[in-house]
Amino acid sequence: MTGPVLEAREVRFAYGRSAPVLDDVSVAVTPGRNLALVGESGAGKTTLLRLLLGLARPTGGAIRYDGRDLAPRDRALMREFRRGVQTVFQDPYSSLDPRQRVSGIVSEPLRSLGLLDGVPRDVARARVAEALRAVGLPEDAAGRYPHEFSGGQRQRIAIARAIACGPRVLLADEPVSALDVSTRVRIVDLLAELRETRGLTVVMVSHDLAVVAALCQEVAVLERGRIVESGETAQVLGSPRHPYTRRLVDSVPRLP
């Protein structure tokens, strides 16, 4: 069994001297096992995701990539980390630069990681085309602008941008909650497919337990900055042991 690709180990996070937003939180991302972070607003899900993404540093504990503690001064490690861990946000309307063509948006991580330095134009173009194909967008999408696309297609563009540099982990904060239900199903299917075809492991923050159940093999339940229950999704959500998890599961409205 391989070790975790990304890990939060006994992480603590607090703003100034106020009560910690996260306290003694540990989660491990196993390659090939999608992980969901669930809980209510204010539980600390998004903060944990930001720490895993390296956008903020924990006030205690460590974030580990490939078994090594993230250290902003270790530039080689940080480059590897940036390339290996990418992200998709909730709102496909605000997360894409309206003045850039899709080709520019999708190739942005490649450029900022220096992966296009000295690379011929047509090779760069081929990499963008490949990413767009992987998310099910037509090739001519590259020359168009974000406003020409629907919400679901925009989220596909955001996913194409995230996977263009061939990451191992995709961190996604509520990636489908802004979408209509039929579009939501298609994006969930796409993310599930990327796990199969590219070995891309998704770490997702979501309040939607049905989406979690459909996409993630593992789940960690957060309540007020602590993990109250974690493990296999079917186990945790199917027979919850913690009262908070039970309440969460019981609250989901079901179809008659």
Please say whether the dihedral angle defined by the alpha carbons of residues 249, 33, 46 and 107, taken in this order, is positive or negative.
negative
Collapsed DSSP state (helix, strand, coil) of residue 172? strand
Closest to 193 in 3D by CA, of 218, 165, 219, 159:
159
Q: At 220, is the secondary structure helix, strand, or coil?
A: strand
Q: What are the phi and psi torsion angles at 211 (to 5°)?
A: -65, -40
- Minimum distance between the CB of residue 253 and other proteins, rounded to whole angstroms? 4
- Which residues 94-133 are close enough to bind other proteins by CB under 8 A? none
Number of residues in contact with other proteins under rule CB under 8 A:
31
Q: Candidates 15-23, 53-61, 88-96, 209-217 — which segment interacts with other proteins by CB under 8 A?
A: 209-217
126-165 footprint of other proteins as x/- string (CB under 8 A): -------------------------x--------------
Q: Which stretch binds other proteins (CB under 8 A): 92-100, 137-145, 160-168, 230-238?
A: 230-238
Q: Which of 24, 40, 80, 193 binds other proteins (CB under 8 A)?
A: 40
Q: How far is the CB of 42 from other proteins (least distance, A)?
A: 8
Instruction: Tell me the window of 10-18, 78-86, 120-128, 231-239 that interacts with other proteins (CB under 8 A).
Output: 231-239
- Give the residue, chosen from 108, 210, 224, 242, that forms a contact with other proteins under the rule CB under 8 A: 210
- 200 secondary structure, DSSP code: P
C-beta of 168 vs 184, nearer to other proteins: 184
- What does DSSP assign to residue 5? S
Helix H segments across the chain?
45-52, 75-84, 102-112, 121-134, 151-163, 181-198, 209-215, 233-238, 243-251
Q: Which is nearer to other proteins, 77 or 214 (CB)?
A: 214
**Which uninterrupted H or E stretch holds 13?**
strand 6-13
Can residue 247 be called a binding residue for other proteins (CB under 8 A)?
Answer: yes
Stretch that binds other proteins, among 14-22, 71-79, 190-198, 244-252 (CB under 8 A): 244-252
> Considering the complex, what minimum distance in angstroms separates the CB of residue 141 from other proteins?
21
Q: Does 182 bind other proteins (CB under 8 A)?
A: yes
Choice from 67, 181, 196, 197 touching other proteins (CB under 8 A): 181
* Paired tokens of 256: 């008659």
Between the two ends of the chain, the Cα-to-Cα distance in Å is 42
Q: Which stretch binds other proteins (CB under 8 A): 45-53, 62-70, 77-85, 248-256?
A: 248-256
Instruction: Give helix 102-112 / helix 121-134 axis angle, nearest 10°.
Output: 110
Q: What is the DSSP letter of 140?
A: G
φ/ψ region of 34 (left if φ > 0, alpha if ψ in -120 to 50, else beta) reads: beta
141 in helix, strand or coil? helix
Confirm or reject binding of residue 253 to other proteins (CB under 8 A): yes
Residues forming the site for other proteins (CB under 8 A)? 40-41, 151, 180-182, 184-185, 188, 207-211, 213-214, 234-235, 237-239, 247-256
